[in-house]
Structure 1
């Protein structure tokens, strides 16, 4: 080791405690004890104790969670954490760096800040952590309008994650959240809906701010309505995040989702004034009208028993409020997108349904299925009683 390197190391050892002492004086009184702890643990660093470095890392993470730590994060990382970052667990290192990056003055500064950290974890042994770092950097790239670059990052990270049997939940959460942000920027409602629901499966919704929950629920509701191939809202309707719209200005949107899921055209028409005030829904009114008709058709089929799936055009017209002449086109659409399977009898104007797309049911639909099972059970009991009475000794044997 050269003399100049030794000198530089001595200077760092000397300057870090002073830096921490200076920062402690600047910090709010209730945060000052963190800097005292940092200084105490750092001064014991001569003892290369894994437990000590772990404690120091945990205190940094805890400090960064404090609401008023924001102005200190970048400096603490650059002047303090960077000096012993090789001792930190790679996931913890990236987690700390991401907290600091969020406090940079603009999106480009955040991207620049993260590049050295990404390089440090781009190794064969830390590819899972690399995904976390590069996806969070992609979040800032989206802010800069670099959508093409973000899509390449997403594709590369998806392949990496597919190669793991399991990874930390936080890594999957990051991947799905940033993917959802990308698809939202591209108005890709179907892929946004899928990614956003997967993101919610990776996080505790109760830990989100009220504003974030409302925004997430609103975006998911709009994606469900506008997504070309989304005809089952059950998973969203049963998710607690949707309750965040209750008693807000978007409460009608929650009602609209239940209306669609139940195929209730009457309620859909009653909500028309709300739709007319939402430009995106108004622009897609024709698609929404077709979707509510299709969902009305699905619900009508679903309500029928398995042995009663031959439906006259006239009944479908009544359910969907279409003319009889429009029924065939509607059923053909349902068959083409695999909502139903069956056939159309054009001569007798009948639809024979052999299969209906499986659905995630909301509570009212589950209750309807319960009633069907009770009716079926009662019918079985009646038949059993009848056979017992008519069969006499033969049945008893």
Structure 2
């Protein structure tokens, strides 16, 4: 993030004098706003004045005047303004500072203005955005402290403005990205996307978010179901980009397709994180293949020979037992291992968010089950007709 140069301010100016000074320097298309501000201020129409300032701040050309307007005009009547709107306007002003330290000082002051019992939502919003600046300054401890504080406050709310949750999850995701904690990043990034309209992100932001989600899904040591991400429209941002292979790789993992994994692994040279964790990724695709093999079987056909698992996962048969033990320890499946007969009895498989192909496979199995039930009913009826006599 970069900030334009800060505008110098005279803190002794009265509110109307500030408007007159800005009016002299601003473009002609903005001067009418300054006239309206003065009129509404004189009439003490604080709500209408707030709405008009929001319009003004939404115009890019207003950027050079926002700091002075906020600190020398809005500050005069900010106690009449809705605290959440005060924070929203303050976040726009924050972007006009020339560096992170100046922005942090400004936001810290803003936090103090909304730290009241009746403005906890606004307080959380301001604290989380302050935490983001601390993150940019590499103050990880300060960021984590803010996250922990705001999480406790949010837990007490029955309902919260969506923008508050969006701010919280976005900063959490960026924090866990900085810490290379892939599972936590994955969870918080998806929660952030659930709180916003995807079209509010730029094309570059969509690609970056989709890329980071793909990497975290692959490297998260407890993430073995990519269905939620695969069905999310954010992933389409990788299509027709140099990163499209990552999207294809996610589908290969979710289907446990080891052949496709091997084909796409040549791209790992483009991403050092994947190249350095190739052994982990191979084990992960084998586990995904095992899950898929179990999932595709009917519930009455889940006694699986080691040889079948070896064929599905392309592992030597003497490595199958270790793989199954790993799956059991991760709670991906439940069951038991028969070492003598070299079989695995699976009683449960982790619930999954299914992609379209997997849903179609389930549809086919339901059709087969339905046909089996019909045949059984006809057999019973033909063999023992006396049971069906009315």
TM-score band, normalised by the shorter chain?
over 0.9
1:386 Cα deviation after fit: 2.5
Preserved contact between residue 111 and residue 137 of structure 1 (Cα < 8 Å): yes
Q: How does 1:23-34 map to 2 (within 5 A)?
A: 23-34=22-33
1:116 Cα deviation after fit: 2.0
Please give the per-residue CA displacement for 1:281-318, whole angstroms capped at 9, x wherever unaligned: 10111111110000000001000000000000011001
Q: How does 1:119-130 map to 2 (within 5 A)?
A: 119-130=112-123
Decide which of 131, 139, 161 is 2:154's aligned counterpart.
Answer: 161
Q: Which moved more, 1:350-359 or 1:128-137?
A: 128-137
Preserved contact between residue 388 and residue 396 of structure 1 (Cα < 8 Å): no
Structure 1: tracts of 5 or more residues without a match: 1-10, 46-51
1:221 Cα deviation after fit: 0.6
Please give the per-residue CA displacement for 1:39-59, whole angstroms capped at 9, x wherever unaligned: 2212222xxxxxx21111112
Q: Give 3-state SS (helix, strand or coil) of 2:118's partner.
A: helix
Is 1:171 matched with 2:164? Answer: yes
2:142 is matched with 149
Decide which of 322, 339, 349 is 1:356's aligned counterpart.
Answer: 349
Preserved contact between residue 129 and residue 167 of structure 2 (Cα < 8 Å): yes
Measure, in 2, the Cα distance between the counterparts of 1:247 and 1:32.
45
Please give the per-residue CA displacement for 1:302-337, whole angstroms capped at 9, x wherever unaligned: 000000000000110010010001100100000001
1:392 Cα deviation after fit: 2.3
Structure 2: tracts of 5 or more residues without a match: 1-9
Preserved contact between residue 150 and residue 182 of structure 1 (Cα < 8 Å): yes
Query: How many pairs does the alignment contain?
Result: 381
2:173 is matched with 180
Measure, in 2, the Cα distance between the counterparts of 1:189 and 1:28.
47
Is 1:247 matched with 2:226? Answer: no
Preserved contact between residue 387 and residue 395 of structure 1 (Cα < 8 Å): no
Preserved contact between residue 307 and residue 317 of structure 2 (Cα < 8 Å): yes
Is 1:135 matched with 2:128? Answer: yes
Measure, in 2, the Cα distance between the counterparts of 1:290 and 1:164.
42
Please give the per-residue CA displacement for 1:213-266, whole angstroms capped at 9, x wherever unaligned: 111111111000011111111111111111111111111111111110010000
1:13 Cα deviation after fit: 12
1:44 is matched with 43
Q: Give 3-state SS (helix, strand or coil) of 1:164's partner.
A: coil
Measure, in 2, the Cα distance between the counterparts of 1:362 and 1:338.
21
2:56 is matched with 63
Q: Give 3-state SS (helix, strand or coil) of 2:384's partner.
A: helix
1:25 Cα deviation after fit: 4.3
Is 1:304 matched with 2:305? Answer: no
Measure, in 2, the Cα distance between the counterparts of 1:119 and 1:14.
23
1:378 is matched with 371
Q: How does 1:263-342 map to 2 (within 5 A)?
A: 263-342=256-335
Decide which of 240, 251, 258 is 1:258's aligned counterpart.
Answer: 251
Q: How does 1:108-119 map to 2 (within 5 A)?
A: 108-119=101-112
Q: Superposition RMSD on alpha carbons, in Å?
A: 1.8
Which 4+ stretches in 1 moved above 6 angstroms?
A: 11-14
TM-score (normalised: structure 1): 0.92
Q: Give 3-state SS (helix, strand or coil) of 2:346's partner.
A: strand
1:96 is matched with 89
1:233 is matched with 226
Q: Give 3-state SS (helix, strand or coil) of 2:235's partner.
A: helix
Is 1:107 matched with 2:100? Answer: yes
Measure, in 2, the Cα distance between the counterparts of 1:289 and 1:120.
53
Q: Give 3-state SS (helix, strand or coil) of 1:80's partner.
A: helix
Is 1:223 matched with 2:216? Answer: yes
Preserved contact between residue 18 and residue 69 of structure 2 (Cα < 8 Å): no
TM-score (normalised: structure 2): 0.94
Q: How does 1:170-209 map to 2 (within 5 A)?
A: 170-209=163-202
